[in-house]
Amino acid sequence: MQPSQQALLDRILASPHFANTLTLGRILSYVCEKTAGTENRIKEYEIATEILRRNQSFDPKLDPVVRVSMSGIRERLQKYFDDAGRSESLRLVIPKGQYRAEFVETQLQSSAESEDSDRILRHFWGQYLSKEQANLIVYTEPLFFREGWETYVRNLYVNDLENGQVQLMNRLPELRARELTPSFHYLDSGEVHSVFLFLQFFHDLGASVGVRNARIASWHEMRRSNLVMVGCTRTNPFMDMLQEKTDFVIAEDEIRNLSPRDNELTSYRGQRYRDSRLARYREYVLITRRPGAYQDSTMTMIAANHGRAIEGAASYLTRAKEVSKLLAIINVDQSSMLPKRFQVLLRVEMIDVDDEIMDVEYVSHRMTAE
């Protein structure tokens, strides 16, 4: 590859769209190294055995892992060039039906298009940009139990520091003979990536934002701030406390629909399934916008029982193209005020190996008249 092509590839791989998807990044790098600037073609079998470590009996007719991965790569490339890479003078393309990389000169986004994207995002996040209140991103810290310095134990449904050890022993009786100590040494990677994404996003829009840990945060400070809250009711006590009695509510292992409409489910919960031989995972995210606790403050709760699903929703809400489609679906144009209260339910599709996000789709929404 030429230096300019390698530099572009490095920026793409370092972007939020690829930084946490090591497998897709390795595939993209491999395709670029093997084919960029040449007439070379590579096959599914080569990618599967060389990069994905499938055995020599790999059959692409039975296992679609390469096709699914390439679809994810194309989608992420599109998102990169719609977002952070819109000013790139080169564009990296993987043509459909082919496993080869093309670097092509691109026409930069016009100032009018750039301004329109900026207006869309400012419309959705406008209250966070007013500078009348501080902005805080609030993440969660799951409870672990430590044995000595080497072994850590966690159960998703045990998050109460005071009674957690008893709850853990009831769920896992085989641990009763072991001496365990509560520990908060680890974070959910999906939530962490969401925090980084929002920090960069608000910085690009010229808004200052702080970060707080829900376990030790001060409600006195939080109630006077605009909040972006990520996590779930199991681990975030504020999310549990601030959840209103609405049609959609998040529970410890599902999102409940208390007033289902036509073609809606009463419960949305994580589901593992197989696409031919490829293990897939589907999870749901509930986005709730509501007034904050103080004067004109606001809060956005991004709640799910899977950290990567939260990350998928955070990425969705910081891309102008996706936000534009969402506003059209909920019938809010740029001349209308965004409602103070609304909920959006999203579906996040992942590969159930390392939870790589493949797609984020709208499912339903609710608007609440003031």
Q: What is the pLDDT of residues 254-269, one digit of tens each?
A: 999 999 999 999 999 9
Give residue 133's pLDDT band: very low, low, confident or very high (50, 70, 90).
Answer: confident
Round to whole Å and give the CA distance between 22 and 190. Answer: 14
Q: Which CATH architecture has domain 113-141+188-367?
A: 2-Layer Sandwich (3.30)
Q: Which residue has the tokens 């972007």?
A: 15
Alpha carbon 350 to its chain's center: 11
Give residue 29's pLDDT band: very low, low, confident or very high (50, 70, 90).
Answer: very high
Round to whole Å and give the CA distance between 124 and 156. Answer: 33
Query: Measuring CA to CA, which residue among 302, 360, 356 is closest to residue 139?
Result: 302
Round to whole Å and give the CA distance between 119 and 132. Answer: 20
According to the model, what pLDDT value does residue 111 have? 60
- The class that CATH gives domain 3-109 is mainly alpha
Cβ(155)–Cβ(148) below 8 Å = no
With a cut of 60, say whether residue 109 has pLDDT above it.
Answer: no
Round to whole Å and give the CA distance between 358 and 369. Answer: 34
Round to whole Å and give the CA distance between 123 and 91. Answer: 29
| Domain ranges across the chain | 3-109, 113-141+188-367, 144-183
C-alpha dist (Å) from residue 340 to 206, 259, 369: 22, 20, 8
pLDDT mean across residues, the chain = 89
According to the model, what pLDDT value does residue 131 have? 81
Beta-sheet strand order (sheet of 151-153): 151-153, 144-147, 181-183
According to the model, what pLDDT value does residue 108 have? 58
What is the DSSP pairing of strand 225-231 with strand 298-303? Answer: parallel
With a cut of 90, say whether residue 227 has pLDDT above it.
Answer: yes
Task: Render pLDDT for 47-81 as a digit per residue (tens, 0 to 9).
Answer: 999 998 899 999 888 888 888 888 889 888 988 88
Give residue 310's pLDDT band: very low, low, confident or very high (50, 70, 90).
Answer: very high
Q: Which residue has the tokens 């001496």?
A: 179
With a cut of 70, say whether residue 110 has pLDDT above it.
Answer: no
Task: Render pLDDT for 192-211 as a digit per residue (tens, 0 to 9).
Answer: 999 999 998 999 899 999 99
DSSP result, 302-343 = EE-SSHHHHHHHHHHHT-HHHHHHHHHHTT--TTSPPPSSEE
Round to whole Å and give the CA distance between 231 and 310. Answer: 7
Alpha carbon 315 to its chain's center: 5
Query: Residue 75: helix, strand or coil by DSSP?
Result: helix
- Does the CA dihedral 17-20-23-29 come out positive or negative? positive
- Buried/exposed 61-75: b ≥16 CB within 10 Å, e otherwise: eebbbbbbbbebbeb
